Structure 1
Amino acid sequence: MSVGSKDETTGNQLCQLRQTADGHYQLKVRVPDCLRHRGERKHLVISGVTFNHDRAALDEALAANTALSWRLHWDGRHWRAFVSFNHARARRVTLGAQYGVVGIDFNVDHLAVTETDPSGNLRRTQRFALLREDATSGQREAALSDALKKAVAWANDELKPIVAEDLDFTAKKKAMAQLSPKGARMRSGLLYAKYRQRLEAKCFWAGVELILFDPAYTSTIGAVKYAARRGWSVHAAAAGAIARRGQKLTERLPRAGTVPRVPVRGGHHALELPARKSRGSRVAAWRSVHAAYRGVVRGQWLATRGGKPRRSATGTTGDGGNAVPFSRDHRYPCDNNLPVQVCAPLS
């Protein structure tokens, strides 16, 4: 590893790169004294060097004498040279969020991308497919990169910022022991670290502004207010709610007495809204709506399984925060003193 410096020739003292007339590069490496025999040259000159990615940015860095850090690596068959440098930020091309944004909802198998206008109305949506946990990590990362590239290109064409979720999976992954094996695989398969890193990089290079917000209750808001009305999926509507949050628009609850229909497992079901306290905050009200919505989702899921929640490998029943431990004799907990009850007929 050789750390670069902008005070040195071509940005590095020990590894110096120069362009040649044939469109390739010439790399001049200073050989350490401990590896050099008597009479041998101090420098190793390698001609015909080429790079497959980001050559234009590398040429700009060489012209500006930017510090270039090099890493020479032996992979068991060949020597490989890796160069890193500070990429110049692209000129911002997007307008402010008040002129509309593009919201992204990150899911296990796809990205839901929804565009809004200056008034916060949901204009159009697209779905970019991702690969699931049965594919290799390289394949999933490549599919994620392609999907993000399309989403950023869409925002660039519309001159609108991107609004994405500011998620933290640290606490959620600690609770994997309470999930079923399938749920744990799906959550561990989420490439959120790669998603966040690549989204920031692509927006950085394209000159697209990236706005990160807490996505609390956006899926519930999308399901209750926009999904059934527009005939969209919950994820597409959630991306619209994320976009509206980036525009700093508030979400009013449905009028008291109404019974909205929400999409659940391929159908639409009535959602009875809980009573709202007169002095309660809007966040607390949406929290109660979210709990009611999750109850409908769970009820429909139980209906497809004959009313019996599945048992995970760790001796719990249910999913996530609703997971409840079995008793010692492996029966469902139906005692009144439990904060969460899952009652089912015993076999």
Structure 2
Amino acid sequence: MILIQAKLVFLSQEDKQTVLDLMRRWSSCMRFAYKRLLEGYDRNTLKRDLQGMFDLNSRYVDDAIMKARSTLESAKELGRSPKRVIFGGKKLFEKLQKRHINGKAYKKLKIKWQEKRKGNLYSRGDKSKKGNLNTRIEVKENGTFLRINVGERKYVYAKIEAGYKKNKSREELLQEIAESNIPYSAELKLKNGNIYAYFAIEEKYPETKITKEKGVIGIDVNAYPDNISWAETDEKGNLISYGKISMPELSSGNKNKKEYFRWHYAHEIVKIAKEKGKAIVIEKLDIKEKGKRGDFSGRKSRRIRHNFSYKSLLSKIKTLAKREGIEVIEVDPSYTSIIGMLKYAPQYMITKDISAAYVIARRGLGLQEKIPDNYVNFLNTLTEKELEELKEHVKYTVKNKNLKRKHLKEINKAIKLIQSLESESGRVLRPLDGTSFSTYDFWRVLKVAVVTPLSPEKVPRDFSVLKELLIQGKWGDP
């Protein structure tokens, strides 16, 4: 999707007021449609009733219903209550409720909230109507204009200012869109008293030429520290090369700055893939943890914000890769870090982040991770006494190092799984009586049994000490 932003300059103040009135009615229509959708009304009934109620044509009403439905589905997807959605912005609304804000500050905040609540208009494109019927781009001798349908055979023209004079690329692109009659959507927004237009055009990608046939590059995005780790493999999953790109700009700065650098680092990754002729494998991120209030607040909010930021970064990598004809494969990221740190970090003497990228790459090739025999043998030799010693050691660490109780809960679960195992070889990977013990459970247990004694406070960066255990089967007191 290509998005072009432009400022609209009206020929007269009267024309601007006419469009502002249209935006106000459309915004009201969208909010009204949202309430009716919550009550179970269907699209056809709403479309018939809303036209006369808000004095809008059928296309505007249809687009308002579509936007309302999209907002409703988005709230459900995020796990938020659809009944608690506040148009105009929840944060701004909550600020307006605070009693210490008054005078000019309150007035300014209220105007901003009302602009976001009432200053909207959306119009979908239509190929059969040569682009967009309600908001059409027209090229004239004195510039590029947006023709806005404000009523029955009534139109208002606004000049499109798409950028500085020395950079006319956006305006030229809009002119090409107008002349080619390709469908485009237009969204009008009111901000600081000015009306801005956002044009969206569905992008046509070239044929995919670089696939996983010759191997892939796995990408692991890390929040602490901010960096991208990548690992290159051949078609059989063998590690060829690896690297790391630091992203300090994503940990601070304003929204626009971070957005710029997300594009910048996405370009770097795609450039590496193009030069090496390899497909890209990325994590499929799902934001599931929403905090106690369901509004992404609380102790986990920082990690969640990072997830949103990196989901945006991975989305940009996908877009740029498709433009270059590079295949992008999305995989489940579950346990990639644990498997990488225990299996490949000591084996290749690489960091846990790069080893996680390597696991992601192998998963993109459809390869399964076989559990090393020496790790299976190690767990089968743990005695009841050693398990209790491990448990007491962890309890002491949690109490004296002020660690989170969730660590102890996870470790207790892992120890119970270990205690349920029988000593016979191979028994580890099969379902046990009363216990569902999967391969992932095994890696969780192994992390607790091996990594916790080495570094109880936090996960170490260096796993070279595990090489003898992994390869030669040497171990001492657990």
Shorter-chain TM range is 0.5 to 0.7
Judge which range, 97-106 or 64-73, deviates more. Answer: 64-73
Provide, for residues 93-145 of structure 1, a one-character-per-residue CA deviation record: whole Å limited to 9, x for no partner: 213x2310011112111111111112211111121223454444443333332
1:15 is matched with 135
Helix, strand or coil for the counterpart of 1:189? helix
Once the two structures are TM-superposed, the CA of residue 301 in structure 1 deviates from its matched residue by 4.9
Match of 2:306 in 1: 189
Shift of 1:300: 5.0
Distance across 2 between alignment mates of 1:207 and 1:90: 6
From the superposition, tell whether residues 7 and 169 of structure 1 become closer, same or farther in structure 2 (CA, over 3 Å).
closer
Hey, what's the Cα distance between the residues in 2 that align with 1:73 and 1:3? 15
Structure 2 contact 218–282 (Cα < 8 Å) conserved:
yes
How large is the Cα RMSD of the aligned pairs? 3.8
Does structure 2 conserve the Cα–Cα contact (< 8 Å) formed by 1:71 and 1:83?
Answer: yes
Q: In the aligned structure 1, how far is the partner of 2:281 from the partner of 2:293?
A: 28
Amino acid at match of 2:185: S
Q: How does 1:308-323 map to 2 (within 5 A)?
A: none
User: In 1, are the aligned partners of 2:262 and 2:313 still within 8 Å (CA)?
Assistant: yes
Matched-pair contact (CA < 8 Å) for 2:136–2:147: yes
Unpaired segments ≥5 residues, structure 1: 37-41, 260-273, 305-347
Q: 1:266 matched to which residue of 2?
A: none
Find the aligned partners of 1:57 and 1:231 in 2 and give their Cα distance. Answer: 50
2:120 matched to 1:6? no
* Aligned counterpart, 1:309: none
1:85 match:
201
Looking at structure 1, the residues matched to 358 and 171 of structure 2 have their Cα atoms a distance apart, in angstroms, of 37
Indicate how the Cα distance of structure 1 residues 56 and 144 shifts in structure 2: closer, same or farther if over 3 A, else same. same
Which piece of structure 1 moves more, 250-259 or 79-88? Answer: 250-259
Rounded Cα–Cα distance in structure 2 between residues aligned with 1:296 and 1:279: 16
Q: 2:234 aligns with which of 112, 117, 131?
A: 117
Is residue 185 of structure 2 the alignment partner of residue 69 of structure 1?
Answer: yes
Q: Post-superposition, which runs of at least 4 consecutive aligned residues in structure 1 deviate over 6 A?
A: 51-57
1:251 corresponds to: 369
CA distance in 2, matches of 1:16, 1:298: 63
Aligned to 2:157: 44
1:69 Cα deviation from its structure 2 partner: 1.8
Q: Secondary structure at the match of 2:446?
A: helix
Whole-Å separation in 2 of the counterparts to 1:114 and 1:188: 25
Alignment check: 8 A CA contact 2:428 2:442 kept:
no
Q: Secondary structure at the match of 2:344?
A: helix
Question: What SS does structure 2 have at the residue aligned with 1:32?
Answer: strand
Question: Is 1:106 aligned to 2:221, yes or no?
Answer: yes
Distance in 1, Cα, partners of 2:214 & 2:200: 36
The number of aligned residues is: 278
Q: What's 1:319 paired with?
A: none
Distance 1:49 1:234, change over 3 A: closer
Structure (1 or 2) with the larger CA radius of gyration: 2
Tell me the secondary structure at the aligned position of residue 223 of structure 1: helix
Structure 1 position 187, deviation (Å) = 3.9
**Change beyond 3 A, Cα 1:85–1:32:** same
Report how far residue 66 of structure 1 moved: 1.0
Deviations 1:142-183 (A, max 9, x none): 33322222112222232321111123231x444899xxx776
Partner of 2:257 in structure 1?
139
Superimposed CA distance per residue, residues 33-76 of structure 1 (whole angstroms, 9 cap, x where no aligned partner): 59x8xxxxx44252765587777875664454211222233312
Verify the 8 A CA contact 1:133 1:185 in the aligned structure 2.
Answer: no
One-letter amino acid matched to 1:111: I
Output the TM-score relative to the length of structure 1.
0.66
Task: Give the corresponding residue for 1:289.
Answer: 443
> How far 1:242 moved relative to its partner?
0.7
Can you give the 5+ residue segments of structure 2 that lack an aligned partner in the other structure?
1-121, 379-417, 432-436, 459-478
SS in structure 1 at match of 2:202? coil
- The structure with more helix, counted as a fraction of residues: 2
**CA distance, structure 2, for counterparts of residue 303 and residue 74 of structure 1:** 51
Question: Displacement, 1:196?
Answer: 4.2
TM-score (norm 2): 0.50
2:268 corresponds to 1:156:
no
- For 1:324-335, what aligned pairs fall within 5 Å after superposition? none
Whole-angstrom CA distance in 2 between matches of 1:135 and 1:48: 28
1:300-311 matches, within 5 Å, as: 300-302=454-456
For residues 302 and 285 of structure 2, what CA distance do their matches in structure 1 show? 18
In the alignment, what sits opposite 2:341? Answer: 223
User: Cα deviation per residue 1:218-258 (whole Å; 9 max; x = unaligned)?
Assistant: 21222123223333210111101110111112222223278
Report which stretch shifted further, 86-95 or 43-52.
43-52
